[in-house]
Chain A
């Protein structure tokens, strides 16, 4: 592969890298203009994760590399300082606290967005040099239940299969995964495969009807948290239908009997079972019979399984079924944990979780000694550290006095998030490394360290199918930013660890990491201790590292070119080399609905945003599809609460509250609500959902139960609703509800407030930064205004001397405000013509210009354009695609396009 092609123009280069977002780990071909610091991206044709595809988020990476909002200088208490001052402050601060209170009084909270090399040195510093296990990661929130589930079943944290299995299976079961929105490229692969092979069945198991159901032959909307009953029932069914692979089980598995008996006990009666699951009995039987009858069966599971107080049991209840049928590690078969982050897997490999040590080794005496030897570690940690929720509880209790948070935003993402905020507010030393200056977490930092971000970071990541790929630096680090590994090593050295952190390049770290994976890890498959072994890469040269092609681990003597699958041979990494089926006793979520909190809150992602939006929200085209947080409520639950679609509601639990517009539809079941987890205090006043989420965790994995919290939903009576579109950033007005979103050449702010405005027209001017009309004249701005006092409609617009739209603001007594799409598009116009000017305050384009809400983010195709094409005879998404291009890139809007065609 031509990794680095230089065109005739020295400025323009093409480099291959990987995406910044989800766990699919797509390859990207980036064409870079280094001087202008701009780039364009497309999917790498040859990368085995995506073969040229990219989703809407990946396609918009080019919009995220500007330096706006970047943290570019070290800061102490928000004052710019030198690197020396900042690093000394961190090193001395940690040392002082360790000296006074011991190593367990400090902690690192890191991230699946760190590269493996960053992760490796962070883990090494904490566990080998500081001497505490207190390094945990946001992957705790993502797939730690899968880690424990894997380890309980296989002895190691091993993903047995690969993406190719989805294109060989005959039954694909997607559990707790809105693959269409969260892992769009994998979804597109499955979809294409299914279209070419109509006999392939897809089953979606999700309490919500998501866009993923678009390709489902069967959707089982089971009750929240009841997955273990479902898969125990499946195990029963497998047994009843004599589908147990006795040979395989006998030779390679333990625990079938106990597992069977638990399954029988909890899910023996199919009628009761269907009731427990809240689904149709026939549908349930259908799924069971398909599974039993389909040898080539893949079960993908994701956060819907993991984020639960019984997440680990859920994982094992799924793995049980695959072990019992011997459908594991063979083409088209296996359980498959889909990770949420680009390098969650890399973090697991280095051991960057508080309950692992390093290189897929847990804390036991042998491992501790082994790693100590390898690292020449002066202060080896000897036991698990505190895991995410416990870690922040310990900060809250003052037991941990210094925390270094890298590349993650726990004030937004952890459950009971307001407690996390309070904990950090009183913590003695909070260090935050990030590429973004202002984040909800960074706002609480004493020391902010400017880290490189995607497009500058340079190292490796591992995707969900164990594939290690290079993420390459496309630009040099911006201003004073440094790579995380460099920052960590610098701090380590200043803490006095002169040995162990003297790496010249990230390749040095990678080689050491690869070396450790093979260290005292037998080459003999029959007594091999650890699955993770990339010793075959331990001696690669800097050039080879630079040009490393995507490869699936293990990479060792036995498999020098990597290995697609594990366990077909039945060799597991338990002491007796046998896999273990676990007896699963189903448990309901920890906190159950009550009179005060009768609804169940489910949280998750939306299509075009990622995590806490620090990066995706920079890309205007990603803010178009869904631009505000929302609370999805079933019509029946809405009716009893007197809610109408779009009105503001408060969601409250015992732990906290949030507020967003309600979206009434039948996607969620009666009694369930859904709220996206993305919005932060930087982008919204009330949109953070995690303050509401209960801090319950899985007993084994300590993964939070983010998919289930008892809540109540109550209407919020707004006196008025409004929005501002402004070319220049404006300060937020004092309103009960605010959400802001970056658009093309403008910022958009949605507003609502409980109290009436004293003088709406003047107040709106004040929002835009003008005391009164005369201050407009000073800047030669033209004011357009519309008011219908009796209806409570007020609208203003400002036009600058160039004739460009400068800003506009509109308010109304209800949420029926003009759509923003056409208005927003006016900011890109060089000079507004009379037609546009006179239409401006109507909110509607002069006939024919309004494209409606953006459906296809990749090509910015609006709902109205698609409607018109559908009415004009385009009767399939393909016809829409060939006419408008909509849906032809990432394809994640195709279900919506279908919906539009259906209703036209």
Chain B
């Protein structure tokens, strides 16, 4: 008899798992539950969607027919949202009461946007930037209103801000640090980025602490601790995400920040696996797509009973999806007391590069303006390659390093 595999969540992680399973040999009868009405779409493409650079069609990965064609049952829509995992009977229960048994269960419930604990977050026009509905809302507000405030100058916040800006809104980005993207960039790159975004029409309010969001049903302004305020027809909250562990917690699975999984992505219930932004693995939680893909590979490997792969957290590189802005960041780009930095600057052309080295190994990289060699450095960082011999050439890229190594050999 075919085993039943149930996947809760039809986001990036869930869909990648399907893809991986498809290319492996498996014997499952697969059922997927997603609480959005669509097939599977590329969530990281929401920014281009908002910016109008892509259409909904463009960002669809698997539409409904794909599931059919691959013999996968998809239950999509809010009424099919799973509300309970019944571990005793090995079944999941949807909003509308349907029970589906499983032999193996995968929880891929992703994350929820973190909302500031301030007054006014319930007002109309205050939203997160998480799914297609959010994008639709933003586009609709942008067509009627002028003033937007984006709280949070992380990747998502900046992408949302640039998207709204591109749709004609007067956007101010509010951030609790003095540079945007401070989790990815050092001061120098951050300043370049801020300048570049300002040139493109964005405003920044840095080192700001939001006190409250004020309005009468509809948001009107954002007030700050320093007494200042910003008019706002739209407030987008993009200050981070929290693993969505509600279901797992409710059914008694061991969770900390996220659903705790082993290196094979198994939860404390041997029948239940989990992956994506909802998990916690060796203390790490995840917010970027690359490790999710790795997790999908590992999990597919185990579900298809190959059973050899192990998930390992590697430094993840980040890119900002704003047209014409190239940045790349990976690893410990701020360095340690023992690390050494190599810099390249061509400020007038908006190029800044920094490679952080410790014990002859790359531990972090920030590239701004010219990110061509990012993957090369990432590779060296991941492989912990001893770069002593190529260090003088490192900044100038893979081709030169290879040529010099060949010459030396």
Contacts and interface: CB of A to CB of B under 8 A. Distances in A.
Interface in B329-378: 340-349, 357, 370
B118 interface: no
A749 B344 CA distance: 23
What size tier do the contact residues of chain A reach? 10 to 19
B289 to A, nearest CB: 29
Given A783-B345, A847-B403, A842 B395 contact: yes
B61 interface: no
A783 B395 CA distance: 17
Contacts of A782: 346, 348-349
Contacts of A839: 396, 400
A789 B370 contact: no
A842 B396 contact: yes
A605 interface: no
Given A842-B400, A844-B400, A847-B403, A793 B345 contact: no
A626 interface: no
A788 B342 contact: yes
A788 B392 contact: yes
Contact of B370 (A793, A838, A846): A838
Interface residues of B, number: 21
A841 B393 CA distance: 10
Contacts of B404: 844
A788 B346 CA distance: 15
A266 B349 CA distance: 76
B205 interface: no
Given A842-B400, A844-B400, A847-B403, A786 B395 contact: yes
B399 interface: yes
A841 B391 contact: no
Contact of B348 (A783, A788, A847): A783
Contacts of A838: 370, 396
A541 to B, nearest CB: 66
B231 to A, nearest CB: 36
Nearest to B344: A786
A735 interface: no
Contacts of A791: 391-392
B391 A785 contact: no
B400 A788 contact: no
Interface string A753-785: 000000000000000000000000000001111
Contacts of B343: 785-788
A37 interface: no
B123 to A, nearest CB: 46
Contacts of A590: none
Contacts of A847: 399, 403
A292 B176 CA distance: 97
Given A788-B340, A789-B340, A790-B340, A783 B393 contact: no
A837 interface: yes
A841 B353 CA distance: 13
Interface string A835-855: 001110110101100000000
A508 B404 CA distance: 66
A783 B352 CA distance: 12
Nearest to A781: B348
A368 B357 CA distance: 83
A670 B310 CA distance: 64
B63 to A, nearest CB: 41
A841 B347 contact: no
Interface of A is mostly: mixed
Contacts of A793: 392
A837 B349 CA distance: 11
Contacts of A841: 344, 395-396
Contacts of A785: 343-346
B365 to A, nearest CB: 14
B392 A784 contact: no
B406 to A, nearest CB: 11
A784 B346 contact: yes
Interface string B380-399: 00000000000111011001
B206 to A, nearest CB: 24
Interface in B85-120: none
Nearest to A842: B396
Given A782-B346, A784-B346, A847-B399, A842 B341 contact: no
A698 to B, nearest CB: 50
Contacts of B392: 788, 791, 793
A761 to B, nearest CB: 9
Given A789-B340, A847-B399, A842 B346 contact: no
Find the residue from B346, B399, B403, B404 having the highest chain A CB count within 10 A: B346
Nearest to A794: B343
Nearest to B342: A788
Interface string A16-43: 0000000000000000000000000000
Nearest to A785: B345
Nearest to B353: A786
A790 B395 CA distance: 14
Contacts of B391: 788, 791
B104 to A, nearest CB: 51
A847 B370 CA distance: 19
Contacts of A788: 340-343, 391-392, 395
A871 B29 CA distance: 62
Contacts of B399: 846-847
A24 to B, nearest CB: 40
A164 B399 CA distance: 55
B71 to A, nearest CB: 50
A785 B346 CA distance: 6
Interface string A787-809: 11111010000000000000000
Contacts of A786: 342-345, 395
B342 to A, nearest CB: 4
Interface in B301-343: 340-343
A47 to B, nearest CB: 45
Contact of A844 (B341, B342, B370, B396): B396
A785 B188 CA distance: 14
A841 B395 CA distance: 9
A787 B396 contact: no
A786 B354 CA distance: 10
Contacts of B342: 786-788
B345 A842 contact: no
B340 A842 contact: no
B25 to A, nearest CB: 44
A731 B348 CA distance: 27
B402 to A, nearest CB: 10
A782 to B, nearest CB: 4
Contact of A789 (B341, B344, B348): B341
Contacts of A846: 399
A787 B392 CA distance: 10
Contacts of B340: 788-790
Contacts of B346: 782-785, 837
Interface in B177-200: none
Nearest to B347: A783
A839 B340 CA distance: 22
Nearest to A847: B399
A788 B340 CA distance: 8
Contacts of A789: 340-341
B38 to A, nearest CB: 41
B81 to A, nearest CB: 51
Nearest to A846: B399
Contacts of B370: 838
A251 to B, nearest CB: 68
Interface of B: 340-349, 357, 370, 391-393, 395-396, 399-400, 403-404
Given A790-B340, A839-B400, A842-B396, 7 more contacts: A782-B346, A789-B341, A838-B396, A841-B396, A844-B396, A844-B400, A844-B404
Per CB-CB distance, the 3 closest pairs between chain A and chain B, nearest first, are A842-B396, A790-B340, A782-B348
12 contacts: A782-B349, A785-B344, A785-B345, A786-B343, A786-B344, A786-B345, A788-B395, A789-B340, A790-B340, A837-B349, A842-B396, A842-B400
